[in-house]
């Protein structure tokens, strides 16, 4: 489905690029004449109407005293109606050579031209120079221009005026080839005997002189009703028509002036259907590109607003934490010292469980550790028991999933404060103590810690490290300030036991049990806060496949949790804050924008090819600059080295696309109602037990 949408969008963009940006109406002098050694003298000195159909070359000129007025480059919403009004007042019929894209934009003017009895010819689809165009493009320009005319009016025409043409004497070899190609498609080429050169805007008097015959010979006069300011053309036409009629000149359409059969005829039913289909497709592509443009602007605004919002919220969060700490010191508030039950659900965790359990036991805060072995087949429980660590209890159960393991641990917990930690995570010595200090506020039901990537040596690890610091932790500061925290991560989260019991423990309704639980607590009226100084180090996926499986589960589970708790949108209090702030933020930033991301990338390629590539690159650099500013600020808040920042540009090109595709697949899976099984993450055994003090941190990053 995604591929189909992107292909359709790419086709629409290619059509738009060709129709709107590769070519366009320019002054006739933009193309200088070339060599003419192959142009027959009979053609160079012949009449302006050239018929090479059937292999023989014939030319014709209007009868004596007859003037055929022709107008190029239209229709134009400003100047064509004025020209038509003057022709109507003077009872003059003319021939309009229309550009297909102009006709598509102003179909009502095309129909008005025909309704007034004027004649229509083609001026190609996009005003391309047929002389320099390859044969395939010549055929394309004529065929599609004809189909646009048929789709708009139900009429066909046999007349063609090649763009950048003038009089017979200006025909060069390339133009000759173009006219012969047109003849093979059934067209009669029309040049001019008098070029008023109104496109130069030489003044009204000069335009009048340019369109006035010097004798009684028939004339084909070249004028323009589009392509720029045509006020001089309109004024000259208004003055010249009565004067020429007073001198005895007659005005006819081009075909009548040379005695041709009617050039404009009704199209067949098949041609009408084909033409209407093309017009519908082109209009749909116009609408699609307009919609995409609006969405891109909106996404840019949302991205900018988010950057400002999260940075402002992070600064406010930091000031608030410092202020609260100073107030507590002045008041002499006692620290939270009551013991904590730490629950570690484990399934086949032998690679990292020892480091995880040892790090918790080494906490500066009194803890009991409950390891719930959820049916492991790799000896996880045996390994923990063999460590013989004080305060560590191992509980074995049949495999029932992570929520069941957490609920088992909760039932066996001895204390009122609970910390939940994944089996692939190690705590810093003061992490538990720092985390539970927030429970001094009786309104707090849960506390999110600061999960950090331990295995960040490779480029994939660095990208995830950047994502954790910017995407996760900056957002959590925003959610804390806005009181709408949607997720306490499974890697490090503290809970009040009474709050967990009020919501029925950990639910297995979704694959993101941590998000589901956090939202349930918020809807129950509890505050959920973020403590950035409570740090835990977790193993991140070390391969693209493992990363995809992990994020697919996260994203799908988050969508499930959002749908489950959608009722929060209409609730009041803490639940309403979660619904109207948290869920809306997740929907816009983590669902809708990623869905739009492939469109942005396709549109960027479109801009590089068809638009101003410098502007496109500048927009991308501006976006990168916003990301870099957020990254620098987030890294400073987390007291992290800026060395991994060199991978940020590449992350925006590669890693960002992967995450967007994960979201898109998750959304399509959810819409299809497909059941997604649990994906267990690979373990690598890269974690180390931190020793007391800051010197332990480098060991965690080995």
Per residue, the 3-state secondary structure of 553-612, as one string, reads HHHHHHHHHHHHCHHHHHCCHHHHHHHHHHHHHHHHHHHHHHHHHHHHHHHHHHHHHHCC
461 token code pair? 């690890």
pLDDT at 390 over 70: yes
* Mean pLDDT across 23-47: 80
Residue owning tokens 């080995």: 702
CA angle 601, 602, 603 (to 5 degrees): 90
CA torsion, ordered 36, 38, 42, 48, to nearest 10 deg: -50
Instruction: Please name every residue paired with 444 in a beta bridge, in sequence order, or none if there are none.
Output: 527
Tell me the per-residue pLDDT of 440-483, one tens digit each, with 9 for 90 and over. 999 999 999 999 999 888 899 999 999 999 888 889 999 999 99
Tell me the per-residue pLDDT of 550-584, one tens digit each, with 9 for 90 and over. 888 889 999 999 999 999 999 999 999 999 999 99
* Mean pLDDT across 644-671: 84
Nearest to 252 by CA among 63, 489, 413, 503: 63
Tell me the per-residue pLDDT of 156-208, one tens digit each, with 9 for 90 and over. 999 999 999 989 998 999 999 999 999 999 999 999 999 999 999 999 999 99
504: DSSP letter: T
Which pLDDT does position 677 carry in this prediction? 53
Phi, psi of 441 (to 5 degrees): -85, 115
User: What are the DSSP E strand ranges found in 295-432?
Assistant: 340-346, 367-374, 392-397, 417-420, 425-427
5-9, 337-341, 563-567, 680-684: which range is least confident on average? 680-684
**Inter-residue contact 350 to 380 (CB < 8 Å):** yes
Instruction: Please name every residue paired with 374 in a beta bridge, in sequence order, or none if there are none.
Output: 397
pLDDT at 695 over 50: no
pLDDT at 701 over 60: no
Phi, psi of 321 (to 5 degrees): -65, -40
Residues designated catalytic: 72, 224
Given CA atoms 19, 31, 226, 260 in this order, what sign does their dihedral have?
Answer: negative
Band of pLDDT at residue 23, cut at 50, 70 and 90: low
pLDDT at 675 over 70: no
pLDDT at 504 over 70: yes
Tell me the per-residue pLDDT of 239-293, one tens digit each, with 9 for 90 and over. 999 999 999 999 999 999 999 988 999 999 999 999 999 999 888 888 888 888 8
- Tell me if the bond preceding 549 is cis, omega within 30° of 0: no
User: What are the DSSP E strand ranges found in 508-640?
Assistant: 527-538
**Inter-residue contact 439 to 447 (CB < 8 Å):** yes
* Mean pLDDT across 635-640: 90
Q: What is the helix (H) or strand (E) element at residue 416, kind and residue range?
A: none
Question: Reduced to 3 states, what is the DSSP secondary structure of residue 70?
Answer: strand
Nearest to 251 by CA among 445, 71, 470: 71
Per residue, the 3-state secondary structure of 227-259, as one string, reads CCCCHHHHHHHHHHHHHHHHCCCEECCHHHHCC
2-267 CATH pick, 3.40.50.720, 1.10.510.10, 3.30.200.20, 3.20.20.370: 3.20.20.370
Q: What's the rounded Cα separation, in Å, for the pair 573 and 580?
A: 11
**Inter-residue contact 223 to 38 (CB < 8 Å):** no
Q: What's the rounded Cα separation, in Å, for the pair 6 and 2?
A: 6
Residue owning tokens 């985390």: 435
Residue 161: how many CA atoms within 13 Å on its side-chain side?
32
Instruction: Please name every residue paired with 190 in a beta bridge, in sequence order, or none if there are none.
Output: 49
Kindly state which CATH superfamily the domain 294-700 is placed in.
Spore Coat Polysaccharide Biosynthesis Protein SpsA; Chain A (3.90.550.10)
What is the pLDDT of the chain when averaged over all its residues? Answer: 89
The length of the chain, given as a count of residues? 702
Phi, psi of 26 (to 5 degrees): -130, 170
* Mean pLDDT across 587-611: 83
Which pLDDT does position 702 carry in this prediction? 36
* Mean pLDDT across 386-401: 95
**Inter-residue contact 530 to 448 (CB < 8 Å):** yes
How many CB atoms neighbour CB 290 within 10 A? 11
Which pLDDT does position 157 carry in this prediction? 97
521 token code pair? 């607590």
Band of pLDDT at residue 25, cut at 50, 70 and 90: low
364: DSSP letter: S
**Inter-residue contact 393 to 368 (CB < 8 Å):** yes
Sequence ranges of the domains in the chain: 2-267, 294-700
Instruction: Please name every residue paired with 341 in a beta bridge, in sequence order, or none if there are none.
Output: 368, 418
């Amino acid at each position: 489905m995604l591929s189909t949408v992107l292909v359709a969008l790419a086709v629409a963009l290619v059509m738009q690029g060709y129709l709107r940006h590769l070519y366009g109406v320019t002054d006739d002098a933009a193309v200088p004449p070339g060599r003419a050694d192959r142009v027959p003298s009979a053609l160079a000195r012949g009449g302006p109407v050239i018929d090479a159909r059937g292999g023989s070359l014939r030319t014709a000129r209007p009868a004596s005293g007859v003037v055929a007025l022709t107008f190029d480059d239209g229709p134009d919403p400003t100047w064509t109606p004025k020209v038509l009004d003057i022709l109507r007042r003077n009872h003059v019929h003319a021939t309009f050579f229309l550009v297909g894209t102009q006709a598509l934009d102003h179909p009502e003017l095309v129909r008005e031209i025909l309704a007034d009895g004027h004649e229509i010819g083609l001026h190609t689809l996009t005003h391309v120079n047929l002389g320099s165009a390859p044969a395939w493009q010549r055929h394309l320009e004529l065929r599609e221009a004809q189909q646009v005319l048929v789709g708009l009016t139900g009429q066909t025409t046999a007349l063609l005026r090649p763009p950048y043409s003038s009089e017979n004497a200006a025909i060069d070899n390339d133009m000759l080839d173009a006219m012969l190609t047109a003849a093979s498609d059934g067209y009669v080429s029309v040049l001019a005997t008098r070029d008023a050169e109104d496109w130069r805007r030489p003044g009204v008097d000069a335009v009048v002189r340019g369109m006035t015959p010097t004798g009684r010979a028939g004339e084909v006069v070249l004028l323009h009703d589009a392509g720029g300011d045509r006020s001089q053309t309109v004024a000259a036409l208004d003055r010249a028509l009565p004067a020429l009629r007073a001198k005895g000149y007659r005005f006819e359409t081009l075909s009548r002036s040379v005695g041709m059969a009617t050039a404009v005829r009704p199209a067949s039913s098949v041609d009408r259907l084909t033409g209407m289909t093309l017009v519908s497709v082109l209009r749909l592509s116009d609408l699609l590109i307009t919609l995409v443009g609006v969405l891109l602007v909106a996404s840019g605004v949302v991205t900018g607003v988010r950057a400002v919002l999260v940075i402002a919220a992070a600064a406010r969060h930091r000031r608030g934490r410092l202020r609260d700490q100073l107030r507590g010191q002045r008041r002499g508030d006692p620290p939270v010292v009551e013991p904590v039950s730490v629950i570690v659900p484990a399934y086949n965790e032998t690679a990292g469980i020892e480091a995880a359990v040892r790090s918790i036991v080494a906490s500066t805060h009194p803890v009991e550790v409950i390891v719930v072995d959820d049916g492991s087949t790799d000896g996880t429980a045996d390994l923990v028991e063999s460590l013989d660590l004080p305060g560590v209890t191992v509980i074995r159960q049949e495999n029932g999933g992570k929520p069941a393991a957490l609920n088992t641990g909760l039932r066996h917990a001895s204390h009122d404060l609970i910390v939940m930690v994944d089996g692939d995570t190690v705590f810093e010595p003061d992490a538990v103590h720092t985390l539970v200090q927030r429970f001094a506020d009786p309104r707090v039901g849960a506390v999110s810690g600061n999960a950090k990537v331990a295995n960040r040596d490779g480029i994939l690890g660095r990208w995830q490290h950047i994502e954790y610091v910017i995407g996760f932790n900056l957002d959590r500061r925003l959610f804390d300030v806005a009181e709408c925290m949607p997720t306490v991560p499974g890697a490090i989260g503290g809970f009040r036991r009474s709050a967990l019991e009020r919501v029925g423990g950990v639910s297995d309704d979704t694959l993101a049990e941590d998000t589901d639980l956090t939202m349930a607590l918020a809807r129950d009226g509890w505050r959920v806060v973020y403590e950035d100084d409570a740090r835990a180090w977790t193993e991140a996926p070390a391969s693209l496949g493992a990363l995809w499986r992990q994020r697919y589960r996260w994203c799908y589970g988050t969508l499930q949790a959002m749908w489950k708790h959608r009722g929060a949108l209409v609730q009041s209090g803490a639940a309403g804050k979660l619904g109207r702030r948290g869920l809306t933020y997740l929907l816009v930033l983590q669902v809708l924008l990623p869905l739009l991301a492939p469109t942005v990338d396709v549109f960027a390629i479109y801009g590089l090819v068809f638009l101003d590539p410098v502007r496109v690159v500048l927009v991308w650099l501006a976006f990168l600059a916003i990301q870099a500013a957020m990254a620098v600020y987030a890294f400073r808040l987390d007291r992290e080295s800026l060395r991994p920042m060199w991978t940020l540009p590449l992350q925006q090109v590669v890693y960002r696309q992967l995450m967007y595709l994960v979201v898109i697949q998750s959304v399509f899976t959810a819409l299809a109602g497909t059941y997604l099984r649990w994906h267990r993450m690979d373990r690598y055994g890269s974690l180390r037990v931190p020793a007391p003090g800051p010197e332990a941190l480098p060991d965690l990053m080995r």
